[in-house]
């Protein structure tokens, strides 16, 4: 069963490739055009995606710089706060006034907490920017592979469509080429009709009309020969008309389907 199905598949391919050179040539033209357009489109999309990813990475780099500056500011602020606390502790006004010292310490701790919160926010922004950049890069890679697969399928589909479309032209040409060979050999059988969807219908009809006219001429010649044979049969012996009868038989055979 497998061999039979394989043979049927090969026959289907051969049936579509009636004129291999003609069909493959024009299908190749279509595939080449599709490849050029696909590569151009892919290059534009890739360049656009690369620009977006580069901008995203630049934003991450700037975010890291801002976070680094923020860390330096927080570190310097904490150093200043520590020095101020040391001086405050030594100051008699604060040392002898616990309430004032407690208020200062509370304000200093609040400022430290605010700076630490800002630092965490900056760090979180840097992490989010890095994640966005990686997500964009990953999306670009997926888009590239998806684009390659889609365009490859599109090119193959266009090639297959080119073979199918040219088959609608190659089929009538193949059929008329064979029928022209029959006419050249003297066989004036009526051409078979084209299949539904075939091209070159008008050309085939003109060819069919030519064969019909040739058949009509041949039938008129047969009628003239028949009349001549009938007339000569009354005057001559039958043996002398043998050559004319053979000519008539040859002409009649040219009108019979083979």
| Residue with token string 């043979």 | 7
Least confident of 7-11, 79-83, 164-168, 201-205: 7-11
**Residue 66, token pair as written in the block:** 């801002």
Highest mean pLDDT, choosing among 136-140, 148-152, 241-245: 148-152
Q: Which of 219, 213, 215, 217 minimizes the C-alpha distance to 248?
A: 219
State the pLDDT confidence band at 1, using cuts at 50, 70 and 90.
Answer: very low
Query: For residue 3, is pLDDT > 80?
Result: no
More confident of the two residues 104 and 213: 213
User: To 10 degrees, what angle do helices 98-184 and 2-16 make?
Assistant: 80
- What is the tens place of the pLDDT at every residue in 179-212? 878 777 777 777 777 777 777 778 888 888 888 8
Query: Is the pLDDT assigned to residue 34 strictly greater than 80?
Result: yes
Q: What is the mean pLDDT of the chain?
A: 75
Please state, as a whole number, how many other Cβ atoms lie within 10 Å of the Cβ of residue 217: 11
Give the percent of the chain with pLDDT over 70: 76
**pLDDT score of 11 more than 50:** no
Global pTM value: 0.51
12 band by pLDDT with thresholds 50, 70 and 90: low
User: Contact 186/254 with Cβ under 8 angstroms?
Assistant: yes
Let me know how long the chain is.
Answer: 258
Q: Is the pLDDT of residue 111 over 80?
A: no
In this predicted structure, the answer to whether residue 142 has a pLDDT above a threshold of 70 is yes
Angle at 36 between CA 30 and CA 41, to 5 degrees: 125
- Contact yes or no for 39/155 (Cβ under 8 A): no
| The pLDDT of residue 4 is above 50 | no
């Amino acid at each position: 069963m497998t061999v039979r199905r394989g043979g049927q598949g090969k026959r289907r391919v051969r049936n579509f490739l009636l004129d291999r050179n003609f069909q493959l040539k024009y299908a190749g033209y279509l595939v080449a055009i599709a490849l050029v357009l696909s590569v151009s489109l892919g290059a534009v999309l890739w360049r656009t995606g690369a620009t977006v990813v580069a901008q995203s990475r630049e934003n991450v780099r700037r975010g890291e710089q801002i976070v680094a500056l923020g860390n330096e500011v927080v570190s310097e602020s904490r150093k200043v706060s520590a020095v101020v606390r040391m001086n405050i502790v030594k100051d008699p006004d604060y040392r002898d006034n616990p309430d004032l010292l407690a208020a200062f310490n509370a304000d200093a701790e609040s400022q430290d907490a605010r700076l630490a919160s800002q630092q965490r926010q900056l760090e979180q922004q840097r992490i989010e920017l890095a994640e966005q950049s990686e997500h964009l890069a990953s999306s670009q890679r997926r888009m590239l592979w998806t684009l390659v697969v889609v365009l490859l399928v599109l090119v193959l589909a266009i090639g297959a469509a080119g073979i199918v479309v040219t088959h609608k032209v190659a089929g009538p040409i193949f059929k008329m080429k064979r029928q022209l060979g029959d006419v050249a050999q003297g066989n004036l059988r009526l051409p078979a009709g084209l299949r539904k969807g075939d091209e070159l219908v008008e050309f085939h009809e003109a060819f069919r009309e030519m064969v019909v006219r040739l058949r009509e001429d041949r039938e008129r010649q047969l009628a003239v020969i028949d009349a001549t044979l009938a007339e000569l049969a009354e005057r001559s012996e039958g043996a002398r008309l043998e050559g004319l009868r053979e000519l008539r038989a040859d002409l009649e055979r040219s009108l019979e389907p083979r």
